[in-house]
Structure 1
Amino acid sequence: MLFSIAMILIVGMLLGWICQKVKLPSLLGMLVTGMLLGPYVSNLLDKNILQISPDLRKIALIIILTRAGLGLDLSGLKKIGRPAVMMCFVPASFELIGIILLAPKIMGLTVLEAAILGAVLAAVSPAVVVPRMVKLMEEGYGVKKGIPQLILAGASVDDVYVIVLFSTFTGMMQGQGASLIRFVNIPVSIFLGIMVGLLLGTGMAFYFEKVHIRDTIKVLLLLSVSFLLVTAEDHLTTQITFSALIAIMFIGIGLKQKREVVAQRLSTKYSKLWVAAEVFLFVLVGATVNVHYLRHVGVRALLVIIGALLFRMTGVFACLLKTKLNAKERAFTMMAYTPKATVQAAIGGIPLALGFACGDTVLTVAVLAIVLTAPLGAFMIDWSYKKMLKK
């Protein structure tokens, strides 16, 4: 396993650096590293590290969500109001509807199979979007109108919404039927996640004020609490649950509201953690990609992905109607809300593992969506934000 870790870091950072030199996002090099080192090409990664790959990817996600919460300015978000709420559900719903309309005609799927494919594809990737929106906030681009805050908040809730829909559709495919409680759980889990996060964040702010400890210890405490929240969500057997990922982000928000100076210092610490976490996240996502499937992906899969993105961008446009954003700012928001990676890598293979007839198709389209949209979306954000947003 030590050899695998060394290869992930050395090759991942090297190819990431090469991509940066040729004006491509570094995550593209990391994705390629995972494909080359993974079981479908050279098979150089230890099987044990591949087995814990979902947990390592989740740790990376926890780091970027906490970092986002510590840097999120709610005052900018409050100025936007209604669109901030709409961004959490409307773009994903538009994309899901688009795939349900397109996939049966283009790929020959049933409506339910298309719904499962749509639920896999409809999530935006926090791994791509969150670090870039944090960077925009740090540099001051679009902050006055709350653009990065809007995208940050929407991307976090968007994933929870889509994952719950995916669980519902797979349950229907297995004959469990559509349960009303599953849909009721979507807003409830988000609300409970916000409340739990704010409560813990406020409590930790009070503790840090009374007990003077090093910032490194504070980071370790934050990480430990985040791991416990994720574990608690995974082991809950009740019909109504809470969203651990939302709670984790709101711990950072609650901490910033009460102890802003501490939040700024911890945000710097998390930025350093992200350097390593980013490499592991995207290399391990790349390692899940079966390059042999890519050979069988035809124009039809590409058409479905492009059509789905157009529906998604239309949904973002609808959310931004009657806002003060100008044409360039709206175009940037529509473009920045398209990258896919984390959720697709996490759930794209589940239909195949469950033995669904559409399993191969879902996995193939999910992989192609990652390969196309993650580097392209990251590149477009990095290339355009200084041109399209006001500092």
Structure 2
Amino acid sequence: AIVVAFILLRAGLNIEASIFKTRGGLISRMAFIPGLSEMLVASSFAFFLFKLPWFWSFLFGCSVAPLSPLAIIYSLVKLRESGYGEDKGISSVLLMMYALDNITLVTLFGVFFTITFDVKIADKKTIGIIFMQTFFAICGSIGVGFVMGVFITFFPHRYDPYCGVWRTVLLTCSGFGTVLLTHILKIDGAGYLCTIVMAFTASVGWKALGTPNYSNPVNMVFAMVWHVLQPTALGLIGAEVNIFELENHTVKAALLVIPFCMMQTRFVMAFLTTSMAGFNLKERLFMSLLALTKGTPQAALAPMAMDLAHGRNQAHFAKHLLHVCVLEVLVTLPLGPLIATFTGPLLLTKHEVNRGSDETYLPQHESWDEEPPPIGRPRYRSVVSRINTDNEFMLYTGRRHTDSFV
């Protein structure tokens, strides 16, 4: 849970708010259409090939379809820092797509997980209530995440000498607490969404107050900690993979389904959703290839179904799900970093990042000739000093200073 919370927090901090104005429709299409299409195809194959019941088939589809932000976020952030594709915001689009795809399919997994293993569910009304509860949980998590992000934006005050430390501590503790609490309440998807909305809101607020991403101490701390957490998280995923439990007929079926059905479906749908969005063929190919990376959700969701299936005489259903997830982790987990590292510089255009032109570095009423305010105290301490400053400015320049109170 700690690793998942950290991934979501770093992803939220690296999302550009301006991308929603120009790429909002593209993000929605890439987040929902390829993932849901792959989920339906995988569910159909589970029903016809593995002879699973329909609810188990949908549980199967929701387990194998989610993307893995853990496997790709570091590579995307490095491409973004190097300027590859930043003229069109490709890294921000992919980060948001990964987050929304993961949240959507994990939330659907929770719904079908409840329907499959809750013996009290016997009619359509109860199933409808579960879907309504899930919808309200998602809406509530967005609202709570927004409120928490606004709070962290203004508290502590931006001129506090330990502002960076307190922001890091508050954001980290809030993210970890949210993910753990929602995990206890069995609404993990809502916790993921709340965490990423909180980090995104705080990042936008800090930029509006004059702290751009490239000089934000919170981003720097998260980048350093990630070098320790990344190998740890990938090692935990590897510990969940047991290749000695695989069965021959399951392996053959999975090797047929994974590359030729599920991956092909997601690649084709991702390529189609990027059409007429202002990208050239190379950029569309890069974005579609990066939509194939799995790993973290499969290693976490499959054991959950296996544990409950043992106590309900449904272990033979869960074995198919677990074996396919294990093979999918082995096949697709290395794809994302390899594709981003080797094909990113080849397929994407490098855009020189001019950090000095960041409009959020200085408030709009300040000029570049002025000396920035000292760290730890406000520019003007009182109304009297403000009046004296205005008089001196008018004496030497012949015009009144137009600064407003900050």
Q: The TM-score by the shorter chain falls in which range?
A: 0.7 to 0.9
**Paired AA for residue 167 in structure 1:** G
Which residue pairs with 2:167 in the alignment?
A: 218
State the Cα deviation string for residues 163-211 of structure 1 (Å, max 9, x = none): 2222222333335256223334555444433332232222112113264
Q: TM-score scaled by structure 2?
A: 0.75
Q: Per chain length, whose mean CA-contact separation is higher, i.e. which structure has more relative contact order (CA < 8 Å, sep 6+)?
A: 1
> Could you tell me whether the CA contact under 8 Å between 1:76 and 1:144 is conserved in 2?
no
Which residue pairs with 2:286 in the alignment?
A: 332
State the Cα deviation string for residues 53-112 of structure 1 (Å, max 9, x = none): xxxxx2122222212222211212321121211222211110011112323343343433
**Pair 198,139 (structure 1): closer, same or farther in 2 beyond 3 Å:** farther
Asked whether 1:304 is paired with 2:257, we answer yes
> Could you tell me whether the CA contact under 8 Å between 1:189 and 1:241 is conserved in 2?
no
State the Cα deviation string for residues 270-329 of structure 1 (Å, max 9, x = none): 001111111211101111111212464422111111211111122323322321111111
Asked whether 1:162 is paired with 2:105, we answer yes
Distance in 2 of aligned mates of 1:160 and 1:271? 23
State the Cα deviation string for residues 339-380 of structure 1 (Å, max 9, x = none): 111111111122221222311111111011011101123211
Give the superposed CA RMSD.
2.3
Distance in 2 of aligned mates of 1:142 and 1:186? 36
**Aligned mate of 2:200, from 249, 253, 265:** 253
> Could you tell me whether the CA contact under 8 Å between 1:79 and 1:145 is conserved in 2?
no
State the Cα deviation string for residues 109-152 of structure 1 (Å, max 9, x = none): 34333222111011000101222222222222222222211111
Trace 1:219-234 onto structure 2 (pairs within 5 A).
219-234=168-183
Which residue pairs with 1:353 in the alignment?
A: 307
State the Cα deviation string for residues 231-261 of structure 1 (Å, max 9, x = none): 3323448xx9972222222222222222232
After TM superposition, what 4+ stretches of structure 1 lie above 6 angstroms from structure 2?
Answer: none
Distance in 1 of aligned mates of 2:229 and 2:241? 19
Question: Aligned pairs, how many?
Answer: 332
Distance in 2 of aligned mates of 1:187 and 1:135? 35
Trace 1:51-90 onto structure 2 (pairs within 5 A).
58-90=1-33
> Could you tell me whether the CA contact under 8 Å between 1:305 and 1:369 is conserved in 2?
yes
**Aligned mate of 2:190, from 230, 243, 255:** 243
**Pair 131,302 (structure 1): closer, same or farther in 2 beyond 3 Å:** same
Asked whether 1:272 is paired with 2:224, we answer yes
Structure 1 residues without counterparts, runs of 5 or longer: 1-57
Distance in 2 of aligned mates of 1:284 and 1:347? 14
Trace 1:8-19 onto structure 2 (pairs within 5 A).
none
Asked whether 1:201 is paired with 2:149, we answer yes
**Paired AA for residue 196 in structure 2:** M
SS of the equivalent of 2:162 reads coil
More moved, 131-140 vs 116-125: 131-140
> Could you tell me whether the CA contact under 8 Å between 2:111 and 2:134 is conserved in 1?
no
Distance in 2 of aligned mates of 1:275 and 1:360? 34
SS of the equivalent of 1:88 reads helix
**Pair 191,149 (structure 1): closer, same or farther in 2 beyond 3 Å:** farther
Distance in 2 of aligned mates of 1:244 and 1:314? 31
Distance in 2 of aligned mates of 1:241 and 1:350? 13
> Could you tell me whether the CA contact under 8 Å between 1:129 and 1:378 is conserved in 2?
yes
**How many percent of aligned residue pairs carry the same amino acid?**
25
Which residue pairs with 1:366 in the alignment?
A: 325
SS of the equivalent of 1:349 reads helix
Distance in 1 of aligned mates of 2:173 and 2:25? 34
Q: TM-score scaled by structure 1?
A: 0.78
Which residue pairs with 1:48 in the alignment?
A: none
Which residue pairs with 1:139 in the alignment?
A: 82
More moved, 203-212 vs 150-159: 203-212
Distance in 1 of aligned mates of 2:160 and 2:142? 25
Structure 2 residues without counterparts, runs of 5 or longer: 351-406
**Paired AA for residue 264 in structure 2:** L
**Pair 186,380 (structure 1): closer, same or farther in 2 beyond 3 Å:** farther
Distance in 1 of aligned mates of 2:26 and 2:53? 33
Distance in 1 of aligned mates of 2:212 and 2:317? 49
Which residue pairs with 1:284 in the alignment?
A: 236
**Pair 84,189 (structure 1): closer, same or farther in 2 beyond 3 Å:** farther
Distance in 2 of aligned mates of 1:351 and 1:166? 10
